């Protein structure tokens, strides 16, 4: 499926015919995708749909067929690609005993050339990013000792210090509670505005995607099956088709979408409760009737 209609130019990323086979099994097939500079694209789909594999293919960290062009240029060398695209993996590798400052500083590696040592400018940029993300007080702390939200901000800081115009984030809010999820996403939205970043995230929560994404792309069985605005993609029919659940959606004046997933009716429910659920606008009062219960006199 092609996904390049009605997109503004210039493009940050263009994928054509992307395919990935792992262990003889195709996990990504013939994906065409255009991502405009400055947009937030949310990659959606059920488990095993190919979202993480697509992020890896776009970042050049998995062998693939097809092409990926960055800002109009096909980039092949890993160091050059790292200057264009910074990646926040779902499960980042954190060396034992490394401080937050040292870990974030690793994001400058692509800019160090053959000297492979951090310059004073690299250190200044690292400190500036730590300050912007309110992490300066944790600079000397070992990364594993930080809380989940703090650790995720440190991982994001490492990506930001690379000064790449495009961020690829694989489930950036995984394992975070609701408050920290929105803290990370709102911070990402602010940084996107400040820096003019292009943001690509994989997400599982459809309402979160509908609130933050400019455009959504849905993968199913390794193929791109839908692409467009949240209002165009997150319809009850599409949610039922690709996720197998019943849902209703509400679109606000800015085109953001809230998704409410409805629980399947359980069998054997009390008839009076089921009838109350079925009556529009009705409410049910549930009274526990224990042994010896006597109803009040009329």
Contact status, residue 96 vs residue 144, Cβ threshold 8 Å: yes
Contact status, residue 33 vs residue 3, Cβ threshold 8 Å: yes
Quick one: pLDDT at residue 115?
62
Quick one: pLDDT at residue 119?
86
Quick one: pLDDT at residue 74?
61
243-263 pLDDT, tens digit per residue, is 999 999 999 999 999 999 998
pLDDT confidence tier of residue 84, bands split at 50, 70 and 90: confident
Give the helix, strand, coil percentages of the chain, each rounded to 5: 35, 25, 40
Contact status, residue 170 vs residue 138, Cβ threshold 8 Å: no
Quick one: pLDDT at residue 103?
96
| Domain edges within the chain | 94-164
Burial class of residue 137, CB neighbours in 10 A (0-12, 13-18, 19+): exposed
Contact status, residue 56 vs residue 43, Cβ threshold 8 Å: no
- As given in the structure block, the two tokens for residue 94 are 């954190």
Residue 296 has pLDDT above 80, yes or no: no
In sequence order, which residues have a C-beta less than 8 Å from that of residue 143 and are 6 or more positions away? 94, 98, 99, 100, 103, 151, 154
Quick one: pLDDT at residue 49?
95
Quick one: pLDDT at residue 9?
66
24-70 pLDDT, tens digit per residue, is 999 999 999 999 999 999 999 999 999 999 999 999 889 999 999 88
High-pLDDT (> 90) share of the chain, %: 65
C-alpha distances in Å from residue 47, one per residue of 27, 53, 294: 12, 12, 51
Read off the pLDDT of each residue in 250-277 and give the average, rounded to a whole number.
73
Biggest CA pair distance of the chain: 90
pLDDT confidence tier of residue 293, bands split at 50, 70 and 90: very low
What mean pLDDT value characterizes the chain? 85
Element (H, E) at 12: strand 11-22
Read off the pLDDT of each residue in 139-146 and give the average, rounded to a whole number.
95
Strands of 11-22's sheet in order across: 25-36, 11-22, 65-70, 73-74
pLDDT confidence tier of residue 6, bands split at 50, 70 and 90: low
Residue 43: CB atoms within 10 A of its CB come to 28
Contact status, residue 256 vs residue 250, Cβ threshold 8 Å: no
Which residue is it, tokens 């209002």?
Answer: 231
226-244 pLDDT, tens digit per residue, is 999 999 999 999 999 999 9
pLDDT confidence tier of residue 277, bands split at 50, 70 and 90: low
Read off the pLDDT of each residue in 201-209 and give the average, rounded to a whole number.
94
């Amino acid at each position: 499926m092609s996904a390049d209609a009605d997109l503004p130019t210039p493009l940050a990323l263009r994928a054509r015919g992307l395919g990935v086979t792992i262990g003889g099994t195709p996990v990504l097939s013939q994906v065409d995708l255009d991502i405009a500079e400055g947009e937030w694209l949310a990659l959606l789909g059920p488990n095993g749909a190919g979202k993480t594999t697509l992020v890896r293919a776009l970042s050049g960290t998995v062998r693939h067929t097809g092409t990926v062009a960055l800002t109009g240029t096909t980039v092949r060398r890993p160091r050059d690609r790292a200057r264009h695209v910074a990646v926040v993996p779902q499960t980042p590798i954190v060396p034992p005993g490394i401080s937050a400052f040292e870990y974030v500083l690793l994001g400058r590696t692509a800019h160090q050339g053959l000297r492979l040592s951090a310059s004073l400018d690299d250190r200044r940029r690292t400190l500036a990013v730590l300050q912007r993300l309110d992490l300066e007080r944790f600079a000397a702390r070992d990364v594993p000792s930080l809380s989940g939200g703090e650790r995720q901000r440190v991982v994001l800081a490492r990506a930001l210090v690379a000064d790449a115009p495009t961020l690829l984030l694989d489930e950036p809010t995984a394992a975070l509670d609701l408050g920290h999820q929105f803290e990370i996403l709102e911070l990402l939205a602010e940084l996107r505005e400040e820096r003019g970043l292009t943001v690509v995230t994989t997400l599982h929560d459809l309402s979160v995607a509908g609130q933050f994404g400019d455009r959504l792309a849905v993968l199913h069985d390794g193929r791109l099956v839908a692409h467009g605005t949240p209002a165009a993609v997150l319809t009850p029919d599409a949610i039922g088709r690709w996720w197998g659940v019943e849902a209703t959606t509400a679109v606000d004046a800015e085109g953001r979408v809230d998704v409410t997933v409805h629980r399947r009716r359980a069998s054997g429910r009390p008839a009076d409760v089921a009838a109350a659920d079925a009556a529009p606008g009705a409410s049910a009062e549930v009274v526990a009737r224990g042994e010896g219960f006597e109803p009040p006199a009329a």
